[in-house]
Amino acid sequence: MDYSVLDYAIIDEGETAQQALEHTIEMAQLAEELGYKRFWIAEHHNLPAFASASPEIIMGEVLNKTQHIKVGSGGVMVVHYSPYKVAEIFKTLVAYHPGRVDLGLGNNQGTAVVHKALDTKDKTSYEEKLADVYDYLTDKLAEEGSPSKEKTCSAILHCNPKITEVPEMWVLSNSVKRAKITAELGLGYVYGIFPQAQEKALEIGRQAAETYRKYFKPSKALPEPHVIFAAFVAIDDEEQRAKDLTKILDLWLMGKDQFSYYKHFPTLKETRQTTISEKEAVVISQNKHRMITGTKEEVKEQIQKWCQGMQVDEVLLMPLMPGVEQRKKSLKLLAECCQEIQL
């Protein structure tokens, strides 16, 4: 089974954003060494604890400083952007690094203040934008001699640079409806349990994977259906440390002040000093459905349950833990877990 990682460029206590971005490079290099298939970078805005506002730029640095691991976005929130510009950026990345670029796309609008700051006033639906990105990446409009979608322009619209390769395209989702749309577009499907706390997440994931495979149509972006399962992870080989890391993740996922309360990723000390209200305790309990936590054996068992339940082709793991050394340790433990899983 293939295993991959999604990185957030976490800013730890006492560190700068520049240091966090350097740590992302270190994580990518280690992931490559440990046999991870992909190293993706998340897109988050207005979050002081993350330095991953521009995954496309971080991707370029990671590609330059690794040798063969696939590098991608997890994902570009195309609801905010021009599909044409997204396609230009990724064509350029592919031109520099053929065979190694993934384009993951999402539709999270972010908080109200972020949505307002990024709003393009474009009323095009998310599904249309996904199709538009694909059309630009595959030069469909230029090949068919179709004019620009801009009503004021009748010239043929080319998306440069002109290259022969189409990067693999992925849609980040947690719904059956979006799984069907993804399949019909011929794109890869990433089912994430992390966006929302859903008690029936495994059953929804099973239905989504089945629907996706049933309706999949081969495309230039992906010749065969491919399902990836994604989740937050807190792991350690010591039981008490694993519990401590889980408590930190619990605190983070409460999302205080729309995740802007902490100016760095919370520490164990901060977690222990935080008083949890009854209402917050309920949120923490619900959020357990969004994560995989525990010792190596416990995490391996949980990953295997999800993989078997959904018949996935690959897992995408997100180690949200303080300290780059702890995150590096988690990469090693998670690689061992995935290598030992028998499907």
Closest C-alpha among 210, 233, 198 to residue 303: 233
Q: Which of 57-71, 209-223, 280-294 has the lowest mean pLDDT?
A: 280-294
Residue 38 has pLDDT above 60, yes or no: yes
Distance CA 287, CA 197 (A): 5
pLDDT value, residue 152: 41
Residue 58 sits in a domain whose CATH number is: 3.20.20.30
Residue 208 has pLDDT above 60, yes or no: yes
Q: What is the pLDDT of residues 298-342, one digit of tens each?
A: 999 999 999 999 999 999 999 999 999 999 999 999 999 999 998
Report the number of distinct structural domains present in the chain: 1
Beta-carbon count within 10 A of 22 CB: 16
Distance CA 333, CA 338 (A): 9
Residue 31's domain comprises: 2-340
Burial of residue 278 (CB within 10 Å: 0-12, 13-18, 19+) is exposed
Q: What is the pLDDT of residues 91-132, one digit of tens each?
A: 999 999 999 999 999 987 666 777 677 676 777 899 999 999
Per-position DSSP letters for 261-321, written without gaps between them: S-SSPPPHHHHHHPPPPHHHHHHHHHHGGGEEEESHHHHHHHHHHHHHHHT-SEEEEEE--
What does the mean pLDDT of the chain come to?
91
pLDDT tier at 153, thresholds 50, 70, 90: very low
Distance CA 179, CA 202 (A): 14
Report how far apart the first and last C-alpha atoms of the chain are (Å, whole number): 8
